[in-house]
Structure formats: structure tokens, C-alpha cells
Amino acid sequence: MTLLTYPGFLIIAVVLFLTFLTCSRKRRGLRWQWPVVAKLPQFVRRYCQFHDWSAQILERSGGTCLVVKNLWFVNMDNWLTSNPANVQHIMSKSFTKYPKGIDWRKRFDIFGDSVFNSDSVKWKYERALYKGFLNHQRFHELMPKIFEDSMEKQLIPILEHVSKQHVPVALQDLLGKHIFYFSCRMTTGCDLGLFQSSSHEHLFAKAIVNACEAISFRYLLPECIWKLQKWLGIGKEKRLSEARKTLDHLVSEYISIKRKELSSRLRKEDMDFSILKLLLDRDELARTLSISDEVMRDNIITFMFAAHDTTSTVLSWFFWILSKHPVVEKRIREEIQKYLPDNGKTKWLAFNAKELNKMVYLHAALCETLRLYPPVPVQTRTALHNDTLPSGHKINQGTRVSISVYAMGRMTSTWGEDCNEFKPERWITDDGGIKHEPAHKFFAFNAGPRSCLGKDFAFTLMKAIASAIIHNYDVQVVGNSQIAPKRSIILHMNHDLMVTVKKRWA
């Protein structure tokens, strides 16, 4: 597997193509302007280590740098920043000047016309609709029941099976099966059952991984190149097209199931509250949107992706870090012991929201994981007008500004000289509570008007899964693979994290 493989061949072709253009322009007496910080060949060479390389570059440049300048096929400058003041300016203070824009929607077309891709009035209306759903009393009443059900039907059987087999398993796959079942219930209201859920999760996860890698690759290549691949149906664009078909098929099936349930009232109302029901039910506010099936699919795919992929990714990094910091794992286990009921000292137990809220050190360890390994490592915006960042850098209209969320957690100017060390204690106040950092500094859940609606719910879900596993099982990482971030729009690992699971209670 060398550069002669695809996409290695494609990268070579692009570099040769640019070299030809450079020589051609020099012969015509035209000046070729390479990136200020890094020439494209170096950028290509660093492709697989992009996030770590970006962090190093930004640390040396003071938090903001011009990555690409005046390349004719890009037709825009591209700035990269990890400066919290710049982030606050872009995402909050001057939010309307930096929309996601057409450039974003072209690259993220797999999410169609969902709230993830929209701007302006449409985005405001849709966000208000989904915010109402997440804040609804029925949501908070039903989610604990669905989570308890998913633990009983998914996580416990999977962990019990794996612990009896005594063979290594891929941790993200293991977590993904449980989280998919839960996210499917939350977004569509469909109870797929163990076998069907596992089958659907495999298809969904594979499609999302392929889509994320293809979208990331679109930011490396000239638009004309990846559009040519798309037209020819080759390479990563072929996988992206196949991924969209898979996701469309799965979600269309869920929409069909839910329509039948609503028309015949097969489901009990007390267990039927989901995003899909909100979009389908004529008596809800959603009726004013006149949402087509295609837009409905786009939004369901987006919410399932947000709930499934980001959560399983963060928890995979969390358990990988714990394997390297046994003292932290020991402290989490000791904290869990403090809040166990008397009859739960030596038996399988899951925890409710009230108990989870008391687990400060576990929360801190998850915050520290999110700081170092944010599930969405880069955010991109396009300037609508000429602007000046707080750092003093001039931004021209049409300029793309990328926020390296990954680098933000590794800046000494922001987090101190120990920024690359895993220290949950940095998140705990002197009086033993959680230290709250501003969103433009701790950017794992976005900031400003587009801040994550499900932040609190995400923490509850992650703490519930992590505490149940840590209390009831010993998870040991096996193998000698060098784990590192993959170049993708989601911070997947470059290799499967293989683990063994051993039951702690008889």
C-alpha cells in the first residue's frame, strides 16, 4: 500500500499538475504566490497528520496563519486560526458576517437542506423548532426511559457477550451499536430490536466514515478535481455517493415505519416522542414548514450522525486515554463508589441523571478528553464582507477562515505550558465543582448562536455509558497500533481501538 494506490496516485497527479503550472507561469513572467506558511506539496505530505501539523504551525505563528493564498483554482484565501478572540469574533460578535455559505454546502452536500447546512432565516426557524423539541418536558421524561431500555437491550447484552468470549473487539464498534439504537429511538422513534439494530448500525457507521473522509478530501483537492471524480464515479466520491444511497435507504425505511404507526396509532403515545414524529405530525408546529421527504431525510440523517458518531468517537478517545492514565481511572472508580446504593457495591449497575450529576471528576475527565480530542476538529466559515480579526489580520470578502478546534486545546497561550498533558484537575474549582470555560476557549460544543443544542444531554449520555462500563468492567487496550487522529471531518482514530472486556462482578 504505497503512493501508487488511490488516492496516492491522485495526489501525485495534483502535485505534478501544480508544478507544471508553476513552471508555465514563470516562463510567462508571472509571479506564482505559494502559501505564506506552507507550500502545497508540504501540505499534501502532511495530509495524514493534518491536525497535529496544524497545531504545531498555529503554536509557532501565534494562533493565526494564512495557509493558502491566491491559488487560481481555489479562488479564495484560506486562513487558519486557534485564537479564542478570533473565534469569539467569528462565531459570536460578527456571526452574521461569517455564514457557512455556499462553499460549505457544496462540500457537505450529503446533509442536503438540513439545519446543519442552512443559514439565515431558514436556519433560525429550524433551530428554534429543534430547540423546542430538546427543551420539551416530554423529551426529558422519555429520554431516561429510552436510555434504560437501550442499556437493557443493547449495551448489557453486548458487553456480557464480549466479556464471555475473551477476544479483542473494536471499542468504537461496540459503543456504536448501543449509541445507534439510542439515537435511532430519539430521532425516529423506531425500536429496531437487537439484530436489526446491529445490522443497520454497521451500514450507517460505514456510510458515515466514508462520507466524512470524502468531505475532508474535498478540502485538499481543487473543486474541479473532486467534481470530476464525482462525475466519473471514482475514488472517494464514489464512496460518498454510495454512502448517501445507504443513508437515504435506511432513513426512508424509518419514515415509512413511522408514517404507518401514526396513521394506525400502533405505538403508545407515552413512548412516542421523536424528531421524526415532530416533522410528520400535522398537529405540530412543523406543519408550517411544508417539509418534503427529502428534507426530512436530510434532517434525520444529520441528527443521527450528530448523536451517534460524535459520542462514540469521544468515548473511544476517553477509554484510550484512561488506558494510559490508570490513576485517573482509579479516581473515577473511587468517585463512582461514593454514590453507589448499598446494594450496588458488588453487582451490575447503571446510574440515573441525579447520581451522574454528582460525578464531578468523571465530568472533568470527559471535558479534558474533549479539549484534546474534539469530535469535530475543524470549523469553517466564509467572510461575507471585508473584516479585521481581533488578532489584527485583514480578511477579504470571500475569504475562508478555518477554526482548528483541535489546535485550540493545545495552545500554550490559552491552556498553559502543560496544555498537551491530560489533567482532569484543570476542570475542577477550589471548592470541588466544575470549572466552566467560555465557549470560544473550550470550543468542543461550538460557540455563539450555533452552539450545540444538545450539550447537556451529550454529557449525561457520555457519563452514563462511561460510568456503567468503568464500574462493571475492566477495559484493557490490546495491540501495538499507533493510535492517532485520522484526516476526516470527525476525529476518528486511524486504527480500530482493540480492547478486551472483563466483567468485575460474578
Q: How far apart are the first and last CA of the chain?
A: 46
How do 400-404 and 78-81 pair as beta strands?
Answer: parallel
Per-residue DSSP letter, 493: B
How do 387-388 and 378-382 pair as beta strands?
Answer: unpaired
Annotated binding-site residue numbers for heme: 452
Cis peptide before 7 (omega within 30 of 0): yes
Among 461, 434, 437, 466, residue whose Cα is nearest residue 332: 466
State residue 466 phi and psi, 5-degree precision: -65, -45
| pLDDT computed for residue 189 by the predictor | 85
Beta strand segments in 292-423, E: 378-382, 387-388, 394-395, 400-404
Determine which helix (DSSP H) or strand (DSSP E) holds 500, and give its type and residue range: strand 498-503
Instruction: For 367-416, write each residue's pLDDT tens digit.
Output: 999 999 999 999 999 999 999 999 999 999 999 999 999 999 999 999 99
Q: Quickly list DSSP for 342-379.
A: GGGTTS-----HHHHHT-HHHHHHHHHHHHHS-SS-EE
| Cα 50 to Cα 214: distance, rounded to the nearest angstrom | 15
* pLDDT tens-digit profile, the chain (506 residues): 433 444 444 554 454 444 444 444 444 443 333 443 444 555 555 656 788 989 999 999 999 988 765 454 455 678 999 999 999 999 999 999 999 988 899 999 999 888 888 888 888 888 888 888 888 888 888 888 888 888 888 888 888 888 888 888 899 888 888 888 888 888 888 877 655 667 888 888 889 989 999 998 888 788 888 999 999 999 999 999 999 999 999 999 888 888 887 777 655 555 678 888 888 875 444 455 556 788 888 989 998 888 888 999 999 999 999 999 999 999 999 999 888 765 555 566 678 788 889 999 999 999 999 999 999 999 999 999 999 999 999 999 999 999 999 999 999 999 999 999 999 999 999 999 999 999 999 999 999 999 999 999 899 999 999 999 999 899 999 987 789 998 889 999 988 899 999 988 76
Annotated binding-site residue numbers: 452
Determine which helix (DSSP H) or strand (DSSP E) holds 170, and give its type and residue range: strand 169-170
Contact 317, 369 (CB under 8 A): yes
| Cα 238 to Cα 374: distance, rounded to the nearest angstrom | 28
| pLDDT computed for residue 195 by the predictor | 52
| pLDDT computed for residue 126 by the predictor | 84
Q: Which CATH number does the domain 10-503 belong to among 3.30.505.10, 1.10.630.10, 3.50.50.60, 3.40.50.300? A: 1.10.630.10
Contact 159, 469 (CB under 8 A): yes
| pLDDT computed for residue 391 by the predictor | 95
**Cell numbers placing 483:** 493510535
Q: Quickly list DSSP for 254-275.
A: HHHHHHHHHHHT-S-GGG---H
Contact 309, 490 (CB under 8 A): yes
Task: Please name the residue ranges forming H helices in 189-325.
Answer: 194-218, 223-232, 235-264, 275-280, 293-324
State residue 14 phi and psi, 5-degree precision: -65, -45
Determine which helix (DSSP H) or strand (DSSP E) holds 68, and give its type and residue range: strand 64-68
315 contacts: CB under 8 Å, gap ≥ 6: 171, 175, 462, 465, 466
Q: How many residues are given for the chain?
A: 506
Among 73, 67, 71, residue whose Cα is nearest residue 50: 67
Distance from the Cα of residue 135 to its chain's centroid: 22
| pLDDT computed for residue 34 by the predictor | 43
